[in-house]
Amino acid sequence: MRNNKTIFITGGNRGIGKGLVAQLCYKHNVIFSVRSNQKGQETLDDLSGCKAKFVVMNVDDPNSVQEGVNKLRTLVNSIDILFNNAGILISGIQNDNNALDTDEESIMKTFNTNTLGVLRVTRHIVPLMGNGGRIINISSGMGQLDEMESGSTAYRLSKTALNALSKILSNDMSSKVTVPVSLKIRSEKMTISPKSFPLS
Ligand SMILES: NC(=O)c1ccc[n+]([C@@H]2O[C@H](COP(=O)([O-])OP(=O)(O)OC[C@H]3O[C@@H](n4cnc5c(N)ncnc54)[C@H](OP(=O)(O)O)[C@@H]3O)[C@@H](O)[C@H]2O)c1
């Protein structure tokens, strides 16, 4: 990928999001979202020399997304790449709950973060993108219909719907931005392997 892209990453304080910040912040202009100033500062303290900046944003809450984007707009004029990374898998329903035993509240909460949250953020970021922007929605093999198994019903539903959303966004905005739909995450190595498209 060429240097000096402006990149926004949601959920950048731990896990894959923090890994993305760490990989990209030395060559690119990276802004990541966190749910508190403390988490943002701790992340930067861990990544010595990283020049990334952060904004506070809870993707569950439209007002918080708006406030985060307002702050983002004070930091940058445009965004080249959006990583919709923030996501949840509610503990307790991780492995054993089948669909019939999964409570509706868990399904709605997970959908609100993993699916609607992506749409909320994307709605605000697309106006900041010029032609050639990229939106990378971090999905999961657990949302893939041809690999669907049992368990983690709420999470699986949210990621299958996210895959649909990626495809719809890709169709809607094909002339302006690219929304790849077959990005695979290999969790054992915590690497993202862009199989079907170049990041540059
Ligand atoms: N790890 C895997 O094996 C794997 C495999 C396939 C796909 N994925 C996907 O990859 C993404 C990252 O996974 P991960 O394992 O790195 O997760 P993680 O370590 O649990 O980190 C999740 C990140 O999302 C943030 N987040 C959660 N809910 C949020 C909300 N409502 N608003 C804003 N930020 C929120 C968290 O912030 P807080 O610290 O404030 O909670 C944290 O920064 C997720 O979308 C996940 O579904 C992960």
Task: Name residue 63's amino acid.
Answer: N
pLDDT tens digits in sequence order for the chain, 200 residues long: 666 999 999 999 999 999 999 999 999 999 999 999 999 999 999 999 999 999 999 999 999 999 999 999 999 999 999 999 999 998 765 556 789 988 899 999 999 999 999 999 999 999 999 888 999 999 999 999 998 999 899 999 999 999 999 999 999 998 778 887 655 555 444 433 333 333 32
pLDDT of residue 28: 97
CB 85 near ligand 1, within 6 Å: yes
62, burial (CB in 10 Å: exposed 0-12, middle 13-18, buried 19+): middle
- Atom 35 (ligand 1): residue with closest C-alpha? 86
CB 19 near ligand 1, within 6 Å: no
pLDDT of residue 65: 98
Ligand 1 centroid–CA 99 distance in Å is 22
| CA 105/CA 111 separation, integer angstroms | 10
144, burial (CB in 10 Å: exposed 0-12, middle 13-18, buried 19+): middle
* Alpha-carbon separation of residue 72 from 36, 37, 63 (angstroms): 15, 14, 14
CB 137 near ligand 1, within 6 Å: no
CATH 3.40.50.720 assigned to domain 6-182? The reply is: yes
| CA 86/CA 9 separation, integer angstroms | 8
Q: From the centroid of its chain, how far is CA 103? A: 25
Q: How many CB atoms lie within 10 A of CB 88?
A: 18
Contact 153, 102 (CB under 8 A): yes
CB 128 near ligand 1, within 6 Å: no
- Atom 36 (ligand 1): residue with closest C-alpha? 11
Q: Where are the domains of the chain?
A: 6-182
- DSSP designation for 193: E
Q: From the centroid of its chain, how far is CA 78? A: 18
pLDDT of residue 96: 61
Q: Which atom of ligand 1 is nearest to the CA of 187?
A: 3
> Annotated catalytic sites, by residue?
155
Ligand 1 centroid–CA 42 distance in Å is 17
Contact 153, 99 (CB under 8 A): yes
pLDDT of residue 14: 97
